[in-house]
Amino acid sequence: MPGAQPNQGQDVNEILMQLRYLQNLYSQQYENLENNIATYTLANTSVQRNIDLLEKSSSIEGSNVMISGEGGAYISAEVHKVDKVLTYVGGGYLIDNSLDKALSFLKENQKRGEDMLNRLISEKQKVEGDLIDLQYKMSTLQYQQQVSGQQ
């Protein structure tokens, strides 16, 4: 059946094209997941620094500190008793909280961030496995194509 071979070859080529397309999509998804993981890791590190600062706020009362004004500018300030903390809640809004409420809020944010990181890492591992499976399928098809003498 010489007529069946070109169709079979076309089918293999078509399948390879579809697999390459899927590989491209999975690669883009993998890259997006890596970027999101980096963003959440950075955000959680920042939240942890804020938690650490608030937890040791009583030990720095009366001390002179340098406050970052962004872009390399610092302002000298003296720390008084920390009773109230402005807490960023998103969307450009800040809420005036007690120290305990601010700490509680930040710890909850950190927990949500860690949960999201774990979900992202799990999804990244799944996509990574799917990419490996796709690569294996493509290699197998290409090998079969070479063995059968088709290009």
In terms of pLDDT, which residue wins out, 104 or 8? 104
pLDDT of residue 146: 85
For residues 124-128, average pLDDT? 97
Dihedrals φ, ψ of 69, to 5°?
-100, 20
| Predicted local confidence at residue 2, as pLDDT | 38
Model confidence pTM above 0.95:
no
pLDDT score recorded for residue 140: 92
What is the predicted pLDDT for the residue at 8? 57
* Domains of the chain: residue spans and CATH: 8-57+98-147 (1.10.287)
Distance CA 137, CA 151 (A): 17
Residue 33 has pLDDT above 80, yes or no: yes
Q: What per-residue string of b and e applies to 44-73 under the rule 16 or more CB within 10 Å gives b?
A: beebeebbeebeebeeeeeeeeeeeeeeee
Least confident of 38-47, 48-57, 69-78, 103-112: 69-78
CA distance linking residue 87 with residue 100, whole number of Å? 11
Q: pLDDT > 90: what percent of the chain? A: 66
Dihedral angle at the C-alpha atoms of 10, 11, 15, 21, nearest 10 degrees?
Answer: 40
Please give the backbone phi and psi of residue 71, each rounded to the nearest 5 degrees, phi first.
65, 20
